[in-house]
Structure 1
Amino acid sequence: MANRVLIISAVTDDVLALRDALGNARDGPFDVEDVPALAAGVQRLAAGGIDAVLLNLTLPDAQGMTCFDRLYEAACHIPILTLCDLDDEAQAKEAVQRGAQGWLSRGYFDNYLVPQSLRNVIERMKVEQRLYIAQTRAQITLNSIGDAVISVDMHGCVDYLNVAAERMTGWSRDEARGRRVDDILAIVDNVTGRPIPNPLEYILRGDPSADLADECVLIDRQGSRLPIEDSAAPIHDWNRHLVGAVMVFRDISHNVALTAKMRHLAQHDFLTNLPSRMLLNDRVSLAIALARRSNAYPVLLFLDLDKFKHINDSLGHGVGDQLLQAVAERLLACVRTSDTVSRYGGDEFVILLADERHPQDAALTAEKILHALATPFLIGEQELHTSTSIGIGVFPFDGTDAVTLIKNADTAMYHAKERGRNNYQFFHQAMNQRAVERQLIESNLRRALEQSEFTLHYQPKVDLQNHRITGVEALLRWMHPEWGLVQPERFIAIAEECGLIVPIGRWVLREACLQIVRWREASIPGVSIAVNVSAVEFRQRDFFDHALAILEETGADPACLQLELTETVLMRDVATSADLLARFKALGVKIAVDDFGTGYSSLSYLSQFPIDVLKIDQSFVRAIDGEAGKNGAIVGAVIDMGRNLHQRVIAEGVEDEEQLAFLKAHECNEAQGYLFSRPVDAALMQAMFGTGIAA
């Protein structure tokens, strides 16, 4: 089929010369049409079928570049050659810059090369059209697949991303083009967090082993982490020279999650979701390996529930299973997040305290567990009572491997049962060591009061609406002249046992009241300070009188004082508690329920108390995760309850932005935790009142 050429010219001699040249072409004639004006030419082009246009830039209805631009707008995908005089090719060259394929000079229209050149131009345009179609088809295909595709040139600069790659990296194609691939594809090791060289770099260096290793994570433009797997390959030109590289990668989040779930099921007890024996053994072995280098003393607590068999046999396995689940929850609340609570089998549990610096501190954990499990369990309509016998084994004294350590802790547990149950025993002579430690702490506590070794640190509470500091919680710190900073969990329980908690508590209350006055005199009035009150203090008959005397002596405003008590303390004697709290409320003192949700109180009883604040225990706050606040049901319920009871709700232990976002979304009033500030001394706290807290 002959190529059809349209001549747009009002010069008769030009038209005749071109018709003659094209009609007698050696490789076959062209079908030639001609029109004398631009408008007629545009109209003919609209009808289709034209393969090329020969344009005179001087027409009755248009001249110069205006003439060319109007035609090009109507036929941008058809080759256009302009007609010009030999001595006036400037316009022709400008037309080429605007899209023309070339020009023909008068005087050479009858040259045999004119048909050949025109045929070449037409064929080149057809090749470009086919290439465009192929590129478009490839583009649509690449944008339709779920895998991400990115390619780079020899300099490692991005020259292409498909839609999936844009979505996964957070970079648009236009933004990414020309940038180094490392800027667009930030890949790190999921375990170590260290950057991993991009596979495309290996390809460009001629290294064929370019695929990513397992457990690689893509960090997108917003900082989100996405597990990926990939394949990469070189790009060659037709001379087999390397000109770039392409990488195909995909999101494997679902696979990773499924693998993690399967691993979790294999390593955890199906009933309590606690680590199984297999995972416990691994963690004990790891703790021992680390302890050899870090001067730590991993401790194992082997627990066996007392009277569980009787409960299981009399009330059924369903009730027994619920009791085991409830026990597991209390055990988790008794230890640190770095520790491991494992269900060893039946009614046996093993707890690994992996990073103990002082083995005798395991006794404090054991006592905490005994106290936690002594409180009745409400299972359905049944109030169940149980206790536990605990055996304690310490590395390396009682074993240098996991099997031996567990076996010896188990042996110590049986000794505890023989001594009447509901107690703990160290393996061999550790009880003597514990007694010495306890006596040492007790004697040093007495000296600490006399030598003013105690101090208060303050952790701010922040209004989640305006991010302003609403008050602080006073936290006791003991700076021993030889031991350094002694953590409260090491000495508070001993102080309660020996009765020293009462004078220590009075010192804390007096120091807090003095600090209220100091800040008032420093032009920081109205600072609310919360003070924790222990069960032993609260049960003292003269507790109110001593508190009143301290307020009067120091001149502190009672409205700036907040007493924090746990549910367990309040519920020990409801009538007495209600009366005592009413007397404090009459003074203007605020009342807060600390660790709310961890006690075992009746809400109908709690409603009898004049409570101003509910503090959500940090264990519930930590349960909030990033998947739309999953596991935050308890926190949300407490916030709603507080709102309905017209009580302010404070969340403790807020450590990350996900928890903060959840609390804000549920309109929690206040929060405190490491996300805002660690406890600081009075001077630093005073400075923070001026600068505020950003969150």
Structure 2
Amino acid sequence: MLELSEYKTILDTIPAAVIIAVPVKQDEKITDFSIVYVNECFRNLTKNFIKEGVLFSSFKEKISQDINWFDMAVETIKTKKTIEETFYSHNFSIWIQLVEKCVPGDYVAVSLTNVSQAKEYESALSEQNKKLEEVTSQLKSSRLNLDSQLKNIQQLNEQLLFAAYHDSLTDLYNRSWLSTMMKVQIKETTEKNEKFGILLFDIDNMKDINDSRGHNAGDELLKQVATILKLMESKTVTATRFGGDEFVLLYKNIKDRDEAIEISKKALRFLNAEGIGISGGISIFPDDSKKTEDLLKFADMAKIEAKKNGKNNVACFHSLMQEKFLSKLNIETKMSKAMASRNFQLYYQPQFDAKTKELRGFEALLRWYDSDLGWISPEQFIPLAEETHLVVPLGDWVMTTALATIKEWEMKFSFNGIISVNISPVQFVQEDFIEKLFKKIEKSGIDKKHLEIEITEGVLIDNVEDTISKLNKIREQGVGLSLDDFGTGYSSLRYLQLLPLTTLKIDKSFVSNIAEKDGFEAKLTESIISLVSKMGLNTIAEGVENEEQLKMIQKFNCRTIQGFLLGKPMPKEQCEKLLVENLGKTSS
């Protein structure tokens, strides 16, 4: 399945500027629209002053005072019809085509396309027509002169028409031609009760080619692809350059999806024979959609799926791709609102000494309950929060809340354990992360030894030296450092020597099969615990759920356990009962 980041990549790579907005209502009446997504092209077109959370009413005049965005958006929601307007923006000195349409869930999709070039072609053609009228008026005086001028005009019109519908680099038909032809094809195919399909593909690793060999080499590769595609053209197959390194093959009068797949794989074989890898997506009219823009969008979704499955392949669109995209978009929208409404909660999962079962402390875990969707798994919303960078303010809230809990427990229970707080790699790389963290700690007034920062191997991806420097600063403050999910990624023993860790957490994937006889996980886990313990680090086994696993963990001399066997994640109030039981303290 496609991830949201991949669907956003689709919208970020198309040349049209796109935003998605939701109605703002008061007393069931729409009063405005709030933007929930802005693609890269829109940010570039509008010089990045339009962002998520901005209302229509606050920016419409910055593009054009002649277009009523609000009324158009209300109308498209009401009628479910697509509304188009073309206008000249004096602010940006370009002609813009504005398209507003309603998408499932009463979202409004707004796209802006720079059509200045088309207007220029239209103006040029109009100018030539004026010349034609002038030449016609001179017919009586000079027939020979008229014939000569008519010939020149015809040639110029042909050149303009060719330029309007062909790509200048490859001489293939361009995107404008494809858009026009697909509309014609939809009409003809509907009348004849036939099908047609498209293959939208791009060249694998094109960026690497441009970076390593230069853009001239990239242009030569594009022309080579075009030459191969021209060999495939026939009465029913037409090649176009869609833009950048993207191409589209249009298949007319096909029988079914299998025929489209067969033609697409033929194109793949032709290109592979010349050492060119591609990833492509297929969509079919009318099976997948009856609209041009949807067919292109769905083919692009399928293309991303092909890339996800290893590149150099073609994939067919299916409805689950769109459903997953809309579902994630819904969660992302709700997450923004939940941040504003503070609907997130912190739960705490206890950690115990493996042998004495004495309470070591807790791991702070983020939880989210939505009135419509119920409990939303962290595996769903945390990756989305990282993609959208909402994890930064969300992580700030988690840290502030956890520090307040530590201070409260120090006062009420003479708390001497730790609370471990997870830090996302996205948070960690922020330039002001260390400064903000230290300010929060100082403001909270906690004993620093009661805080443990928990990181994953993801923080080591980009800049190991910077990571080690930051971690050393944290450790110098007396704050503990824990490495989570050890053994599941790309870390090495070298990192264990370089990082100033105090604790290493063994991933639950090892613990789950640790009780199997002669199991590989058991041998590997024992080796890890033995080695890490000799390095002076505390070890925590995650996901301990039964007595058999606990016995093996105790046998391997793992110091600490965490899992459902002794304690599930729980609200702060339940943790306080556990503190009373384990510490023999009562609340004041």
Using the size of structure 2 for normalisation, the TM-score is 0.46
Which structure: larger Rg? 1
Structure with a larger share of its residues in helix: 2
Structure with more contact order per residue of length (Cα contacts < 8 Å, sep ≥ 6): 2
Normalized against structure 1, the TM-score is what? Answer: 0.39
